Amino acid sequence: AVVLETKYLLVSQANGVGTIRLNRPQVLNALNLALMDELVRTLKEMERDEEIRCVLLTGGSRCFAAGADIDEMAEASSVEMLLKDQFAQWEYIRRFSKPLLAAVSGYALGGGCELAMACDMIIASETAEFGQPEIKLGVMPGAGGTQRLTRAVGKARAMEMVLTARSLSAREALAAGLINRIVPVELLEQEAREWAEEVAAQAPVAVRLAKQSVLKALDTPLETGLDYEQKLFFFLFSTEDQKEGMRAFKEKRRPRFQGK
Ligand code: HXC
């Protein structure tokens, strides 16, 4: 089990799902370095824990996260920002091998929106709001807000969001393809948990490679991507879970996946 002292996160695990709740409500879960460091350390533990097969990342009902901590950046120089090396934390999240599901209610702004987009799927409450308001602070997004956002919603919407700070409602975000689904705020936790458990019940090695392969599609030409996919597909035929999955289908029973 994952046991870590955390000041800004609430961490729990059950039924194959590790849950991380951003918990810095006084400042709308502003992502300071210490919080991000706790997040990465928790993910590292969850990466190693074989019981955990899917990670659910969430915040409060009023706010997922209102961005990077402005107090921490306001007086910084370029060199100080560079030396902080904060993007190493984001790079770790990008390379995390297990599925990451974000459950977003209320504000997901700036780094908060970027954090949700760094996850593999996003489930949102009706009150969710996604935006990249950095331009109003005299800067621009720095953790994927011009890249992942553009890939997800296209140039026209990304430009509008990044250049005018206009945010998307949950409904707009769904229509734009930024998020997977919307549920009423009071059902968000339960639906997100059920969804994460559904992912956690699949064959872990297949899930891991399938995640890698989908992400590969975002930055390779089709031929390279298809080749990559085929190699991973062949590889899965060396797992016991493939034999079990197909046998269970033939025997009309539920498979028992072992992660081997
Ligand atoms: C530090 C923040 C914060 C942030 C809110 N707070 N967002 N502190 N960093 N990003 C603090 C406020 O200062 C305030 O503290 C308390 O949280 C409550 O916020 P209010 O503004 O009073 O609430 P409200 O009026 O409801 O407005 C909510 C809001 C607004 C619209 C979300 O807080 C807001 O615009 N926040 C900033 C959003 C933003 O610009 N995000 C991008 C950051 S840059 P006090 O002490 O006054 O009670 C970024 C770059 C990422 O993310 C780069 C890669 C990592």
Query: Which protein residue's CA is at the shortest distance from atom 16 of ligand 1?
Result: 27
* CA nearest neighbour of 140 among 129, 127, 153, 150: 150
Whether the CB-CB separation of 156 and 211 falls below 8 Å is answered with no
CA nearest neighbour of 154 among 123, 120, 178 = 178
50: buried, middle or exposed (CB in 10 Å: 19+, 13-18, 0-12)?
exposed
Q: From residue 26, give the alpha-carbon distance in Å to each of 8, 32, 50, 66.
A: 11, 13, 34, 11
CA distances from 31 to 26, 170, 180 (A): 12, 22, 24
Tokens, residue 90: 């984001």
Tell me the pLDDT tens digit for each residue of 52-91.
999 999 999 999 999 999 999 999 999 999 999 999 999 9
Q: Kindly give, in sequence order, each residue whose CB lies less than 8 Å from that of residue 224, ignoring residues fewer than 6 positions away.
A: none
Q: What is the atom index within ligand 1 of the atom nearest the CA of 63? A: 32
Q: Is 18 part of the annotated catalytic residue set?
A: no
Three-class secondary structure of residue 69 per DSSP: coil
What's the rounded mean pLDDT across residues 219-238?
97
Phi and psi angles of residue 184, each rounded to the nearest 5 degrees, phi first: -60, 145
Q: For a substitution probing ligand 1, which of 26, 27, 28, 137 has the most ligand atoms within 8 Å of its CB?
A: 28
What is the tens place of the pLDDT at every residue in 7-30? 999 999 999 999 999 999 999 999
Longest dimension (CA), the chain: 65
Map residue 120 onto helix, strand or coil.
coil
ipTM entry: 0.98
Assign 253 to helix, strand or coil: coil
* 207 CB near ligand 1 (under 6 Å): no
Q: Is the pTM of this model over 0.95?
A: yes
Closest ligand 1 atom to residue 136 Cα is 40
- Triad 87, 149, 230: Cα angle to 5°: 85
